[in-house]
Amino acid sequence: MKTIGFIGLGVMGQSMVRNLMRAGFDVQAYTRTKEKAADLLAEGVRWCDSVATVCQNADAVITIVGYPSDVESLYFGDGMILQSAEPGTLVIDMTTSSPTLAERIAEAAIDRSLLPLDAPVTGGDVGAKNGTLSILVGGGEYAFTKARPLFEAMGQSIERMGYAGSGQYSKLANQIAIAGIMMGNAEMLAFAKQAGLNPDQLRHTIRGGAAGSWTLENLVPRMIIEDYAPGFFIKHFLKDMRLALESAAQLNIKLPSLELAHKLYAILEENGYGENGTQALIDYYMHQDV
């Protein structure tokens, strides 16, 4: 593989494209707002003015966009990926999306002799920038093996979790865990501040024990200084939690902790926090009248 079509140049996508280029892949990209691609175009990415064009001569087409509705519109319809990609092309959706949509895409792709994978990622903006993402893959063994060099350019922990939809189910399971961890860390920090403790001193002291986590290392410092710049948008986390709750209902399982996290983040979004990073949850605890 040499040429990669890439759709979606947000916080995650831009860094993932840079890592693909560092690994020696040629990248041609499309995004709805060309201005978002300006820096990457200066670095050697080829601009395509349509979905159909980004699929031309591509050995793989990767998408990482916002919502399942965006994914569906990119894959289905005239001039979209399933119609435009050549037989044998890898089509890899790395958006956190619906498992049932991933299954629909896979079925339609296989009918066209394409190689579909659902491969959502975790690790946030830091992992995307450093090429250390965890990549959770659903799809066939052959497609996964063929795509591994791409995944290795963007991540470190790469696992095939099963057939189509399994990557998405795995990512939703990850988001369920994160929701609880985010609440725990925000509550810890709010409690520490109210008790008059030095929050950074506390963080350093407890990091080596059972409370240690990626969130404690990377997001709690941002909470302490009220840096809410998005590594991962609240609006997108809410989407993930809604997908997880929908899937949980289909699987006939109750997730009360996730339901609470969704409620708290929904309150923040209603009060204008949707474009902030998930660490802005601390503001709910510090100012519970937001």
Give Cα 23 to chain centroid, integer Å. 21
Contact 147, 60 (CB under 8 A): yes
Contact 288, 271 (CB under 8 A): no
At a CB cut-off of 8 Å and minimum separation 6, what does 42 contact? none
At a CB cut-off of 8 Å and minimum separation 6, what does 225 contact? none
What tokens were used for 15? 């860094």
List C-alpha distances in Å: 220 to 107, 142, 189, 238, 283: 42, 40, 8, 20, 12
What tokens were used for 50? 């349509």
Q: Is 14 helix (H, G, I), strand (E, B) or coil?
A: helix
Report the distance separating Cα 91 and Cα 164, nearest Å.
12
At a CB cut-off of 8 Å and minimum separation 6, what does 274 contact? 233, 234, 235, 238, 268
User: Would you please indicate which residues are annotated as catalytic (active-site) residues?
Assistant: 171
Nearest to 10 by CA among 156, 175, 125: 125
What tokens were used for 67? 């919502």
> Amino acid identity of 93?
D
H or E element at residue 93: strand 90-93
